[in-house]
Amino acid sequence: MSVTLLIEQLLNGVQLGTMLFLMASGLTLIFGVMGLINLAHGSFYMVGAYATAAVTASTGSFLIGLGAGIAAAALAGALVELIVIRRLYHRPHLDQVLATFALILIFSEGTRFIFGSSPLRLSPPSWLTGFVTLPGDTRYPIYRLVLIGVGIAISIGLYLLISRTRLGMRIRAGESDREMIGALGVNISKLYTLVFALGAGLAGLAGALVGALQSVQVGMGEPVLILAFVVIVIGGIGSIKGALFGALLVGIVDTLGRVYLPIFFRAFMPPSEATGVGAALAAMLIYILMAVILAFKPKGLFAAHD
């Protein structure tokens, strides 16, 4: 029983981690290449989920919905970059924080205006519902396994994109010296729009996939955004490798903490109290982890550059 629980929760942790990676990789790419802190990243997550829910409801096909969700998020990202974000690259971080905070308000209230305050329904397609039996008699939902698979596929895809393609070469060049690749004739503003749209699309994908698991509602991107911040701070801002490692670490630690801390405190406390203490401590666990890591490595585990 307890081995079953452990396997199940480990998988849940990995699943949360891979979805966090989809968010965090975009954030960290955007910071690494453009030096921009983007609070509105959670809004693309929400846009992806809403577009997927709306299109899935009208076409009846989850895959078409998913495609539409990614496309809508990437398009929203490209538009936002063209209209607002490109004015912010040379601004101090304070301005970037405020402008993207303003974007959150606009996106959230705009979505509430269009779709209303009540959550939309989005469920995984019927061919992905059901359970598989894993070694140790663990019954685990297929859909969550698919999420893990998608996360791994995207990680490999991103790795190949960045290390093997011309675009990836330009992204890496942009990270190490922005002025120089401009001088070498690369169209920087096009590259920036592309990277931003790529990050937004990944966030949209995550939103759509998780939206089918939880609910699609206004403000759904914000808790994930803050977790993604913790991830990239732990991993080192600008480092994709750090984002992957940080995402898995945060996903697993958070999930296991929520399950095992209350159990742990129940060993020497009355059950009602143990649940409260355990839950409160579990909620703080990843932040404590972040504080400890930063106390030793102020630039994160895989600090890329400043």
Partner 1 sequence: MINNTSSGVAKISLTPNADSHFSRKGIVQITLLGLLLLLPVTAYFLGHIYYVNLASRITIIAMAAVGLNLAIGYGGMVSFGHAAYFGLGGYVAGISAYHAFDFTPFMTWPFSVPGSDNLLVVWLAAAILCGLLALAIGAISLRTTGVYFIMITLAFAQMIYYFANSWPTYGGEDGLPIYLRNGLPFVDTTNALSYFLICFAGLVLAMAITSRLMKSRFGAALTMARLNDVRLATAGISPYPIRLIAFVISAVITGLAGALYADLNGFVSPTMLSWHFSGELMVIVILGGVGRLYGPLAGAILFVMMETLLGGITQYWQLFLGLVLLGVVLFAKHGVMGWLAGRELNE
Q: Which is nearer to partner 1, 93 or 121 (CB)?
A: 93
- The distance of closest approach from Cβ of residue 82 to partner 1 in the complex, given in angstroms and rounded to an integer, is 14
Q: Which is nearer to partner 1, 32 or 124 (CB)?
A: 32
Could you count the other beta carbons within 10 Å of the beta carbon of residue 285?
Answer: 16
Q: Is 39 in contact with 269 (CB distance < 8 Å)?
A: no
- The distance of closest approach from Cβ of residue 174 to partner 1 in the complex, given in angstroms and rounded to an integer, is 17
Q: Which is nearer to partner 1, 131 or 287 (CB)?
A: 287
Q: Is 47 in contact with 205 (CB distance < 8 Å)?
A: no
Q: Which is nearer to partner 1, 65 or 246 (CB)?
A: 246
The rounded distance, in Å, linking the Cα atoms of 172 and 288 is 32
The rounded distance, in Å, linking the Cα atoms of 47 and 70 is 9
- The distance of closest approach from Cβ of residue 93 to partner 1 in the complex, given in angstroms and rounded to an integer, is 6
Q: Which is nearer to partner 1, 132 or 226 (CB)?
A: 226
Query: 213-252: string of b/e by CB count within 10 Å (b at 16+)?
Result: eeebbbebbbebbebbbbbbbbbbbbbbebbbbbbbbbbb
Residue 90 DSSP SS3: coil
- The distance of closest approach from Cβ of residue 223 to partner 1 in the complex, given in angstroms and rounded to an integer, is 9
The rounded distance, in Å, linking the Cα atoms of 136 and 141 is 15
Instruction: Tell how far CA 295 is from the center of its chain.
Output: 25
- The distance of closest approach from Cβ of residue 148 to partner 1 in the complex, given in angstroms and rounded to an integer, is 25
The footprint of partner 1 (CB under 8 A) covers 31, 37, 84, 87, 93-95, 97-99, 101-106, 108-110, 112-113, 222, 226, 229-230, 232-233, 237, 276, 279-280, 282-284, 287-288, 290-291, 294-295, 298-300, 306
- The distance of closest approach from Cβ of residue 279 to partner 1 in the complex, given in angstroms and rounded to an integer, is 4
Helix or strand run (H / E) with residue 42: helix 41-59
Q: Is 111 in contact with 119 (CB distance < 8 Å)?
A: no
Q: Which is nearer to partner 1, 63 or 102 (CB)?
A: 102
